[in-house]
């Protein structure tokens, strides 16, 4: 083993450590449910070994085989596509309700389903979404400790670095840099980073803005914020036992909930979106009274339409997130075709479900009350990127006063809090 190999191994170990210690705060006597693509096995195995070193009671690994999923989308008889094995959904719910730690490794082929008929893929996705509603709701309130971490895979690497013979090495390099696995003390580096994001979120919450106004090329969108909204940074609190978790590694965003019925104007996406292994690119959405009334895409129109038709909430916003254009991932200048990466390189919005923690008392109050205050609900939560070096964001106070929040994609919070 040469020095390069050794350093790769060390970085892989650092990423596994971050997933367990920073991501889900893993400790002795706990169970871990761990899932990811087959091709992510090197990282999945590291996480597993380290979890046992930490005293794990049991690590339940579930690999996803992309070819198997594609085989169903291409070959299954039409009348079977709405089926989802309920025992799988029951197990996912049981694990989450018990408060087991859940780690998902992200790295699937962004183009996986491009050969399949979008309406067939949508039926599979909706069936899975409906069946897994209870487990997903526990995730959306961070009941159990959970996190997502990236792993390079050959198909993803080819998409990011087409035609490059060292695509895997280069994607790993980007992953290690963005996740701070290269830091001298990765866990300490993460704690400092998370503290910084949490402090920014507190400042924005204290400002008590009523709305945001986003302006950029093809974008002029007014987003009222949910009544009683709070901004959140990297850290969340797992409801099951109150531990600090970081649900996305990497993360660079602060986010909150828009008002589901008070979003007006037009927004143009600044990066392609990989949804369910299918790409949507060059798209704009027009909102009236919170709902998308017009959607056009240069590529993936049928996929976009299908997403918006999932349910009533899929046409409305559940998240607005601010990320400076100078974030480490944005500075790489690359398109990753992977939401975990691209959403942390740009301001983004999410169609669909809002996080209950985006409003004060969201975990305790009845869901109907939260809906009345503007918190959106849906079976889907799909982030899409709207940030660029040309995006300006204004904050609008209840009395109509306007303050700069971002200029040219960078923070400009001086006027926000005295
Ligand atoms: Zn986000
Ligand atoms: Zn999101």
- Nearest alpha-carbon partner for 147 in 8, 26, 328: 26
Query: What pLDDT is attached to residue 220?
Result: 98
Domain match, 151 and 231 both = no
Ligand nearest to the CA of 255: 1
Segment (H or E) for 269 = none
* Rounded-to-integer distance, Cα 387 and Cα 407, Å: 11
Question: pLDDT tens track of the chain, all 418 residues?
Answer: 444 456 899 999 999 999 999 999 999 999 999 999 999 999 999 999 999 999 999 999 999 999 999 999 999 999 999 999 999 999 999 999 999 999 999 999 999 999 999 999 999 999 999 999 999 999 989 999 999 999 999 999 999 999 999 999 999 999 999 999 999 999 999 999 999 999 999 999 999 999 999 999 999 999 999 999 999 999 999 999 999 999 999 999 999 999 999 999 999 999 999 898 899 999 999 999 999 999 999 999 999 999 999 999 999 999 999 999 988 888 888 899 999 999 999 999 999 999 999 999 999 999 889 999 999 999 999 999 999 999 999 999 999 999 999 999 999 977 675 4
Per-residue pLDDT tens over the stretch 43-58: 999 999 999 999 999 9
* Rounded-to-integer distance, Cα 66 and Cα 112, Å: 7
Here the tokens at position 244 are: 């600090």
Here the tokens at position 351 are: 């169609």
Query: What pLDDT is attached to residue 331?
Result: 85
The Å distance, Cα 78 to ligand 1 centre, comes to 35
The Å distance, Cα 366 to ligand 1 centre, comes to 24
The Å distance, Cα 321 to ligand 1 centre, comes to 5
Domain match, 29 and 118 both = yes
Ligand nearest to the CA of 317: 2
Beta strands in 92-163 (DSSP E): 101-106, 146-150
Query: What pLDDT is attached to residue 418?
Result: 47
User: 86 by DSSP, 3-state: which?
Assistant: helix
The Å distance, Cα 273 to ligand 1 centre, comes to 14
Domain match, 169 and 223 both = no
Query: What pLDDT is attached to residue 2?
Result: 44
The Å distance, Cα 7 to ligand 1 centre, comes to 31
Structural domain includes residue 193: no
Structural domain includes residue 309: yes
Here the tokens at position 337 are: 């075709």
Beta strands in 254-338 (DSSP E): 254-256, 258-268, 273-275, 278-288, 291-299, 317-322
pTM of the model: 0.93
Domain match, 343 and 217 both = yes
* Rounded-to-integer distance, Cα 132 and Cα 126, Å: 10
Q: Is 378 left (phi over 0), alpha (psi -120 to 50) or beta?
A: beta
Query: What pLDDT is attached to residue 367?
Result: 86
The Å distance, Cα 53 to ligand 2 centre, comes to 32
The structure tokens 């400092």 sit at 192
The Å distance, Cα 275 to ligand 2 centre, comes to 13
The overall longest dimension of the chain from CA atoms, in Å, is 65
The Å distance, Cα 404 to ligand 2 centre, comes to 23
The Å distance, Cα 123 to ligand 1 centre, comes to 25
Residue 287: strand pairing partners:
265, 292
The Å distance, Cα 49 to ligand 2 centre, comes to 30
Structural domain includes residue 187: no
Query: Could you tell me the CATH number of the domain that includes residue 47?
Result: 3.40.1830.10
Among 161, 178, 195, identify where a domain stops.
178
Ligand nearest to the CA of 256: 1
Phi then psi for residue 76, to 5 deg, are -65, 145
Domain match, 99 and 17 both = yes
Lateral strand order in the sheet of 58-64: 58-64, 31-37, 101-106, 146-150
DSSP-assigned letter for residue 180: T
Query: What pLDDT is attached to residue 379?
Result: 92
CA separation, residue 336 to residues 47, 153, 167, 197, 272 (Å)? 23, 12, 12, 23, 9
Query: What pLDDT is attached to residue 1?
Result: 42
Q: Which residues of 130-141 are buried (b: 16+ CB within 10 A; e: fewer)?
A: ebbeebbbbbbe
The Å distance, Cα 190 to ligand 2 centre, comes to 20
Ligand nearest to the CA of 343: 1
Helix ranges (H only) for 102-248 are 118-131, 133-140, 154-160, 167-178, 186-207
Query: What pLDDT is attached to residue 3?
Result: 44
Bridge-based pairing state of the strands 254-256 and 273-275: unpaired
Ligand nearest to the CA of 352: 2
The Å distance, Cα 241 to ligand 2 centre, comes to 23
Q: Is 289 exposed, middle or buried, given 0-12, 13-18 or 19+ CB atoms closer than 10 A? A: exposed
User: 354 by DSSP, 3-state: which?
Assistant: coil
Domain match, 221 and 343 both = yes
Per-residue pLDDT tens over the stretch 85-114: 999 999 999 999 999 999 999 999 999 999
Domain match, 260 and 311 both = yes
N-to-C CA span, the chain:
56
The Å distance, Cα 149 to ligand 2 centre, comes to 15
The Å distance, Cα 235 to ligand 2 centre, comes to 14
Report the domain count for the chain.
2
Domain match, 234 and 140 both = no
Q: Is 398 exposed, middle or buried, given 0-12, 13-18 or 19+ CB atoms closer than 10 A? A: exposed
The Å distance, Cα 172 to ligand 2 centre, comes to 23
Is 257 in contact with 376 (CB distance < 8 Å)?
yes
* Rounded-to-integer distance, Cα 246 and Cα 176, Å: 17
Domain match, 115 and 230 both = no
Enclosing domain of residue 293: 203-416
Ligand nearest to the CA of 345: 1
Structural domain includes residue 186: no
Query: What pLDDT is attached to residue 327?
Result: 87
The Å distance, Cα 67 to ligand 2 centre, comes to 27
């Amino acid at each position: 083993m040469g020095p390069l190999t050794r350093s790769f191994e060390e970085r892989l170990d650092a990423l596994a450590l971050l997933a367990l210690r920073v991501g889900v705060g893993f400790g002795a006597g706990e169970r871990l449910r761990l899932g990811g693509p087959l091709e992510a096995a090197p990282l999945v195995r590291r996480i597993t070994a380290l979890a046992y070193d930490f005293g794990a009671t049991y690590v339940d690994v579930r690999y996803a085989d992309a070819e198997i999923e594609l085989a169903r989308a291409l070959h299954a008889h039409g009348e079977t596509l709405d089926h989802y094995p309920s025992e799988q959904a029951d197990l996912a719910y049981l694990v989450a309700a018990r408060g087991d730690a859940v780690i998902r490794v992200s790295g699937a082929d962004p183009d996986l389903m491009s050969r399949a008929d979008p309406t067939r893929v949508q039926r599979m996705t909706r069936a899975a979404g409906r069946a897994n509603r209870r487990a997903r709701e526990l995730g959306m309130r961070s009941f159990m400790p959970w996190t997502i971490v990236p792993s390079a895979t050959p198909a993803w690497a080819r998409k990011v670095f087409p035609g490059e013979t060292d695509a895997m090495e280069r994607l790993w390099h980007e992953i290690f840099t963005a996740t701070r696995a290269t830091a001298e003390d990765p866990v300490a580096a993460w704690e400092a980073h998370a503290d910084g994001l949490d402090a920014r979120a507190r400042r924005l919450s204290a400002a008590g803005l009523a709305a945001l106004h986003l302006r950029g090329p093809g974008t002029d969108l007014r987003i009222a914020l949910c009544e009683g909204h709070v901004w959140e940074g990297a850290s969340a609190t797992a409801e099951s036992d109150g531990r600090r978790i970081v649900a996305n590694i990497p993360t660079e965003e602060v986010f909150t909930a828009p008002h589901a019925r008070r979003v007006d104007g037009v927004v143009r996406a600044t990066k392609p979106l990989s949804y369910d292994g299918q790409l949507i690119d060059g798209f704009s959405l027009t909102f009236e009274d919170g709902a998308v009334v017009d959607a056009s895409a240069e590529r993936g129109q049928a996929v976009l339409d299908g997403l918006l038709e999932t349910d009533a909430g899929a046409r409305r916003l559940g998240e607005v997130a601010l990320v400076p254009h100078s974030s480490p991932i944005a500075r790489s200048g690359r398109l990753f075709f992977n939401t975990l990466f691209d959403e942390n390189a740009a301001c983004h919005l999410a169609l669909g479900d809002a996080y209950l923690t985006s409003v004060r008392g969201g975990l305790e109050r009845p869901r109907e009350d939260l809906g009345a205050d503007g918190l959106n609900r849906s079976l889907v939560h799909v982030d899409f990127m709207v940030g660029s070096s040309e995006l300006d964001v204004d904050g609008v106070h209840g009395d109509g006063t306007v303050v700069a929040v971002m200029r040219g994609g960078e923070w400009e919070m001086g006027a926000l809090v005295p």
